[in-house]
Amino acid sequence: MFDRDVRIQQTAYEIWAGKGYPHGADWDHWFEAEQQVDKELLKTFKPKKPRAKKAVKAA
């Protein structure tokens, strides 16, 4: 399993536990956790800079 999936799973469980272990709202908790984890991951995401093009010398 990917680290993201594990983090979502743990966060969803924490949300579920925090709401008193209600029955039947598992997907709601999962999607809420997914949004939280993705928001955290985007904060740490650093896109790669495109490589500079080499100048072509005229012949």
Structure tokens at 20: 């008193």
pLDDT in tens, 8-26: 999 999 999 999 999 999 9
Structure tokens at 55: 């100048």
Q: What is the pLDDT of residue 23?
A: 93
Q: What is the pLDDT of residue 1?
A: 53
pLDDT in tens, 13-59: 999 999 999 999 999 999 999 999 999 988 887 777 887 777 777 66
Its pTM stands at 0.69
Q: How far is CA 7 from CA 10, 53, 56, in A?
A: 5, 39, 48
Helix (H, G, I), strand (E, B) or coil at 45: coil
